[in-house]
Amino acid sequence: MNRVDIVYGGQQYSLAGRSIDSIQAEIDAAITTGKPYWLMVNSGGGRFEDAYLLIAPGIPFAVLNVKPEDGADIDLDVDGVFGQDGL
């Protein structure tokens, strides 16, 4: 399973089961509307909690495609806790 990390406000959040391309497309579409958008991400370690990041022009954040050193996808869904869309 893929994991994408997002650094926002100095904190790290993650999205599992999503590609970096799909997240970038979602963010691009949100910014194109010109309205503030809340992106749901995972917060915390071990047991994830939902967090919502405000996406709007002028708010800096980074999207990182996380891969282990061997290049294989990271399996974060060891307990089957993520839903069908990976959140």
Q: What is the 3-state secondary structure (H, E, C) of the chain?
A: CCEEEEEECCEEEEEECCCHHHHHHHHHHHHHHCCCEEEEEEECCCCCEEEEEEECCCCCEEEEEECCCCCCCCCCCCCCCCCCCCC
pLDDT at residue 66 in the model: 79
pLDDT tens-digit series, residues 28-61: 999 899 899 999 999 987 778 999 999 988 889 8
Give the per-residue pLDDT at 69: 58
pTM of the model: 0.70
Q: What is the mean pLDDT of residues 8-13?
A: 92
Per the prediction, the chain carries an average pLDDT of 79
